[in-house]
Amino acid sequence: MKRQVLIAMGAAAMMISCTNNSNPLLQEWNTPYGIPPFDEIALTDYIPAVKQGIKEQKKELEAILANPDTPTFENTVAAWELSGKTLDRVSGLLFNLCETEADDAMNAVVEEATALITEHEDDIAMNQAFFERVKAVHDADQSRLTREQQMVLKKLYQSFTRSGVGLDEASQARLREINQTLAAAQQKFGNRLLAENNAFKEKFGIPVSAYTSEMTTCADRARREEMFRAYSSRGNNGDGNDTKALCLEILRLRAEKARMLGFDTFAAYQLDDKMAHDPATVDAFLEQIIGPATRKAKQEIYDMQKVMNRDIAAGTLPAGAQIEPWDWFYYAEKVRMEKYALDENLTKPYFRMENVRKGIFEAANILYGVKVEPLDGVPVYNPAVEAFKVSDADGTLLGIFMTDYFPRSTKRGGAWMTNFREQYVDAEGNDVRPIIINVGNMTAPTDSLPALLTIDEVETVFHEFGHALHGLLTRCHYPSVSGTNVARDFVETFSQFNENWAFQKEILSRYAHHYETGAEIPDSLVAKITAARKFNQGFMTSELCAASILDMKWHELTLEELEEMSKGDQGANVAAFEQKVCKEMGLPDEIIPRYRTTYFNHIFNSGYSAGYYSYLWAEVLDKDAFAYFRQQGLFTRAVSEKFRKTFLERGGSEEPMVLYEMFRGAPPTTDALLEARGLKD
């Protein structure tokens, strides 16, 4: 759970100014909007600042525990929410930058900081005196608390019960050891995967983020096969960056931790406080999706094989050639061209990055009245980063938004949103607004062309800005529930919902202009994009659902099963298990999970363990909500205002399904998702 804290206590602030005036991380930042002074911070500043931050928060906790008054929400829970300003500020910077500016020196600092912070978090989570105070507040009459306060209290109470506060001393010591080892192992996984991604780029001359695009256009089948095998074997090459044994170590430690905390499997532990609540619910949900998806995918294979057969007849392929995994993107594009005459070489000129970014801002303005303007001359951590001021319709500051869209060797793959500062209300009642960034690995500009995005990349830009809006529009009081601090299987609802606007004609007219002529994207091309939106969804849904099932099956293994798997040939055991899971789910041989085990960063290093299903789970909510928009009128301001106030402003201050039914008036169904993906029988 992310937490951004408020104003530090006066004594701590005085101590900082007296003893640490040379470390910019330990001073108030005299910068526009409190943006971190990136250019003033050295790597050597982080560890002293982390240690100082831990020291301060320990003193703040001591003050809470020393309070002789009866525990109340204000003197215990709210006081805790106000603690740890320095630590949160420093760790927020460090752990964000290590994802975009990683090198050996940065990794060493992160490794040391991770160990320090993990130990500190365990000290808090296992502090019996603190738990007793929180429990007293939890067990008392909560009727005078606001609903947000009740949710903050529930979250804090659960954080204790899920962290081993009730264990005996020996068990707590073992749990601390597990947490430290896990933190280090997960960081190591991320480092190895980054090295593998860089090796892929060195071998093929393209970043991993360009793999799909290259596979779509590459006519050389041998090269496609070579790229596929390299891409799908990352972390599985038996060298220093191999991750198989590391994956099993992480899984085994998680299973041991879950067992210690009273759960049969890590999946059961992980889901206990999520919307889905238990593995059986998730398994049943994914089963509803994988069947229709694979049936559709088999039809797609049939269509592609017909095109391949023509190439065989023309003599460009040997007799008997069949669609293989490395053929999918290439022949799917040929089928798409035949069915829809949609050539991305014709769409890309209308999707210059700067124009697409304008599109996300325009959509937010139309829906929520949000205004965005560039910020020049403010600190950024890399020259590629751009900053913007985001204001409400009345001119009130909503927050600062940054973008970092293009790949580089120090940045991990994928796209994400994160905060340098959370939204919260400080001790003086000031609404402190967030500093948010969207990071990606989009098609970069070249010497001859600007950054021209694919259709998928356009959706990604809208997706990540959906997360950003969730963080920017939040109006919570306490940092632990503000913005995107919601259940993992709820958080993707708002990013995926924002994708729905990307290709609406009313939005396209605002941003999809040819980068050379300025001409608006023609209606004929928009019609082709719209018609093709359901194309290849059997494949897309199958690979996504397959990865979700693989994640669940790994985390549904018991400790004993994982200990047995860790014996003997670990690499063979990992491969055999993955193959077994894919066969049991009915995944066609021509498709592999979107992420195979050895490079599944989401579940081994990014907080989605037993949670990758969240994307599909949240899509049920987002598509059902968008269906409501269609019923009421897509651009009916009252509906978008209702969406904003019910969801985007309230963060985690209410149970997710309560919020959803407040907005929709009924529980969601999978119908809208299956319809949107073209999977209904």
Q: Tell me which residues are annotated as active site.
A: 464
Q: What are phi and psi of 420, to 5 degrees?
A: -85, -25
Q: Would strands 371-375 and 386-391 be described as parallel, antiparallel, or unpaired?
A: antiparallel
Edge to edge, what strands does the sheet with 386-391 contain?
371-375, 386-391, 397-404, 435-439, 416-421
- CB atoms under 10 Å from CB of 240, counted, come to 7
Residues 348, 452: contact at Cβ < 8 Å? Answer: yes
CA-based angle 664:668:670, to the nearest 5?
A: 145
Place of tokens 């209308």: 350
Count CB-CB contacts under 10 A for residue 182.
17
Q: Up-side HSE of residue 463: CA atoms within 13 Å toward CB?
A: 18
> For residues 171 and 176, what is the distance between their CA atoms, to the nearest angstrom?
9
SS3 273: coil
Question: Pairing mode, if any, of strands 397-404 and 435-439?
Answer: parallel
Contact in structure between 604 and 189 (CB atoms under 8 Å): yes
The C-alpha angle with vertex 135 and arms to 129 and 139, in degrees rounded to 5, equals 150
Directed axis angle between helix 104-125 and helix 85-97, to 10°?
Answer: 140
- The three-state secondary structure class of 228 is helix
Which of these, 483, 482, 523, lies nearest to 503 by C-alpha position?
523
Q: Are 388 and 402 in contact (CB under 8 A)?
A: yes
Find all residues with CB under 8 Å of 453, minimum gap 6, and list them. Answer: 348, 351, 352, 353, 356, 442, 443, 461
- Pairing assessment for the beta strands 371-375 and 431-432 based on DSSP bridges: unpaired
Give dist(CA 609, CA 605) in Å, integer.
Answer: 8
